[in-house]
Amino acid sequence: MAKIVAGIATSHVPAIGVAMDKGNTATPYWEPLFRGYGPAREWLAKLKPDAAIIVFNDHASAFSLQLIPTFTIGVAERFPIADEGFGPRPVPEVRGYPDLAWHLAESLILDEFDMTIANEMPVDHGLTVPLSVTCGQPAQWPFPVIPLCVNVVQYPPPTGMRCFKLGRAIRRIVGEFAGDARVVIYGTGGMSHQLQGERAGLINRKFDTDFMDGLTRDPAALTRITHTEYMREAGSEGVEMVMWHVMRGALEDDVTEVYRHYHVPASNTAAGLIILENGSGA
Ligand code: DHB
Ligand code: FE
């Protein structure tokens, strides 16, 4: 039997990946951020999941404005690293998990989530930076990955509630898989950030903190946050946080927060990470 055993949410700021790739993580600017990733890496190395579902967004790397699927699932054997303008990041190719990915694709579509199926999909910093911050710099990623891509680039992205319901469906469908697998699910993107315009550099620590608190205690309330509210409170790219709801929906109602890290600034954004395990811990 397969089971989702835990969830991780993390920001995907590209400069964090560059700092790792260039060996700059111990500089005074970056050290406090990377110090906070240590416990998350230790936790994940100890958990040793068999696979990860990584809910992420593409930044016009695999898709362009010609094609904007709301939800895409990658069913390939492997996913190459996208060239985002400076050559692909020097990180391992991402191994897929076609058996579980096809099981998810089929059951999700029959469950009325109209997934786009990707047989080929280069993955950009939206997926590779979360892997880097949680796994470090191994020669191969320690587990196969099912990339689940959400449109948060072109209005309208799916609502938080839709994302949460997708997570709920994923939880059930993973449980129906014939194979054995302990699966971890990532929600990625966020936290508060705006990359352009008059409010560029916006950081809302209170919104980010309340969001992390709510994720554990009252995720249903968080799913009611509107797109306008994300943009007003967390900046235009803060809307990436809808992807965290997929992760939360895939966990049990009762979860325990086992770790949290929040740091400002990373580039001109806030970087957050939270780890949730199923069960109240009682
Ligand atoms: C930047 C890009 C992102 O996709 C993001 O989520 C945060 C920051 C950037 O270019 O700095
Ligand atoms: Fe982004």
pLDDT (tens digit, 9 = 90+) per residue, 160-178? Answer: 999 999 999 999 999 999 9
Nearest ligand 1 atom to alpha carbon 267: 11
Q: Name the pTM for this structure.
A: 0.98
CB 29 within 8 A of CB 206: no
Residues with Cβ within 8 Å of residue 256, at least 6 apart in sequence: 216, 276, 277, 279, 280, 281
Residues with Cβ within 8 Å of residue 105, at least 6 apart in sequence: 73, 75, 115, 117
User: Is ligand 1 within 6 A of the CB of residue 59?
Assistant: yes
| pLDDT tens-digit map of 201-256 | 999 999 999 999 999 999 999 999 999 999 999 999 999 999 999 999 999 999 99
- What is the fold, at CATH topology level, of the domain defined by 3-278? Protocatechuate 4,5-dioxygenase; Chain B (3.40.830)
User: Is ligand 1 within 6 A of the CB of residue 103?
Assistant: no
User: Is ligand 1 within 6 A of the CB of residue 266?
Assistant: no
Q: Does the active-site annotation cover 125? A: yes
Sign of the Cα torsion 239, 135, 79, 122 reads: positive
Q: How far apart are CA 6 and CA 215, in angstroms?
A: 13
Q: Does the active-site annotation cover 103? A: no
